[in-house]
Amino acid sequence: MTHILVLGGEGKTGRPVTERLRARGHDVRIGSRSGPIPFDWRNAAGWPAVLSGIDAVYIAYQPDLAVPGSDDDIRKLSRLAAEAGVKRLVLLSGRGEDAAEVSEEAMKEAGIAWTVLRGSWFFQNFSEGLFAEPILAGELVLPSATVREPFVDTADIADMAVAALTEEGHAGQTYELTGPRLMTFSDAVAEFAAAGSRDVAYTPVTIEAYAEMLREAQMPEDVIWLVSYLFGSVLDGRNERLSDDIARVLGRPPRDFADFARDVAETGFWRT
């Protein structure tokens, strides 16, 4: 049995990582502000207690590694992990995010065995994230129309994380995690809606107009900045290519978006 800390253990990837680790018999400590040993990215004084007795750490940074100062947090956490005797670090990063790569390098400075998982946009953003409410309302407005993205399932990310945390052969590896095909956001919305036998309009707007929409909806400014950065800088075509890393590591193809959309429809999502 390995003692594993899952930072962001209540999030989109942290939940399935935790479930899989516990199913395999590992002892999991969830790093969150509500955890038995509280963890808060804004309070480094509490980090040593959370790291005590831990063998490996899964790091999902909130809100995103693109946020200024994230590299300082990752550097400090990694150094404290080394001092606590942690043997492995697995960092969830962003595919095509230059700012996230700075944090990747900060983690490596600690001298611990590391693995980087560069994730694409999640399938689950359509069912439980920022897009879910407008999709249910019948229209998704986004500042992206033609760029294709290799959307990936968080279940595949979780399986890759568990492999990196518990198996040999992943130290020093950077994996790019994609689904099996490229889709525009418009394609994804249409396919997701069709699985639920619904009509959902997709309306492209400028980044400036989208930021103003979020502001009118009283979204926090840091969220508005992050979304504007992701749509304005990362979604420029740099990620319009597939990776076979999931298939190579797990011995199976990544899950297809159509299967995800069908499964979500069967859960009763469209009746909420």
Radius of gyration over every alpha carbon of the chain, rounded to an integer in angstroms? 19
Report the candidate in 94, 198, 208 with the shortest Cα–Cα distance to residue 143: 208
**Which of 25-29, 82-86, 144-148, 183-187 has the least mean pLDDT?**
144-148
CATH no. of 3-121+152-178+241-254: 3.40.50.720
Quick one: pLDDT at residue 84? Answer: 98
- List residues bridging with 68 in a β-sheet: none
- Listed residue (74, 76, 45) closest to 60, CA to CA: 74
Q: What is the predicted pLDDT for the residue at 1? A: 62
Question: What is the CB neighbour count within 10 angstroms for residue 105?
Answer: 12
What is the per-residue pLDDT for 121? 95
Whether 181 contacts 256, CB under 8 Å: yes
User: What is the average pLDDT score of the chain?
Assistant: 95
Q: Mean pLDDT, to the nearest integer, of 95-120?
A: 96
| Annotated domain spans of the chain | 3-121+152-178+241-254
pLDDT tens profile 220-272: 888 899 888 888 888 999 999 999 999 999 999 999 999 999 999 999 999 97
**Which has the closest alpha carbon to 3: 25, 23, 36, 35?**
25
Is the pLDDT assigned to residue 137 strictly greater than 70?
Answer: yes
Model confidence, pTM: 0.95
Share of the chain above pLDDT 90, in %: 87
User: How far apart are alpha carbons 153 and 253 in whole angstroms?
Assistant: 12
Cα separation, 72 vs 247, in Å, equals: 33
